[in-house]
A = this chain, B = another copy of it.
Amino acid sequence: MSQYGAIMASAEFVRVLSFFKALSDESRLKIVGALAANDRSVEELATLLDLRAPTVSHHLAKLKEIGLVDMRSEGTTHIYRINMSEMRTLAKRVLALDTIETLGEDLVEDAWDRKILGDFFEGQRLKEIPASRKKREVILRWLADRFQFDKRYPEKEVNTIIAKHHPDFATLRRELIGARLLARESGVYWRP
């Protein structure tokens, strides 16, 4: 089982999430700030932040894990240093516009459509016309799919096709036009 939910998230998603998690804690932000000014030992950071050494050690481990800091030993003392180039690299990547767009790409995009269709259809029959625009949209898209792209339909045939699914074909036909899912000119309809 993945650390980040049931559905395997993309590597990029995990990277972005780890970055934000690493910096979303008050103590860790202060550590980053303190290291931005100077390299420092664990004990020094603990004194500066008024925390015990194990706590600081714990935070430093998290920052080190994603490469935001690195460590060198001097005898028994461990001196931590901020890794500015990694900071810049991660920050830039995380904030890129196209990265933000990838964040949603593991979602099952049509789950919503399937749910609405399931809720409002009984077999081929539309139980009712949804009141909310968002839901009506889904129904209308589905209805539009009953028409072929390369064919021209007389109004009578449009009505027949819609009426197979719901008696109020007039309203639905009008809505299809309004949503520009069907087009009409002098009594002939087609799918634009």
Contacts and interface: CB of A to CB of B under 8 A. Distances in A.
Query: How many chain copies does the complex carry?
Result: 2
A47 B74 CA distance: 54
A11 interface: no
Contacts of A106: 30
Contacts of A48: 107-109, 111-112
A131 interface: yes
Contacts of A179: none
B13 A29 contact: yes
Contacts of A13: 29
Interface residues of A, number: 55
A5 interface: yes
A75 B130 CA distance: 13
A79 interface: yes
Interface stretch (A20-28, A150-158, A159-167, A181-189): A20-28
A52 interface: no
A50 to B, nearest CB: 8
A94 to B, nearest CB: 8
A54 interface: no
A44 B20 CA distance: 25
A29 B20 contact: yes
A87 interface: yes
Interface of A: 4-5, 9, 13, 16-17, 20-21, 23-24, 26, 29-30, 32-37, 41, 43-44, 47-50, 74-77, 79, 84, 87-88, 91-92, 95, 97, 100-109, 111-112, 115, 131-134
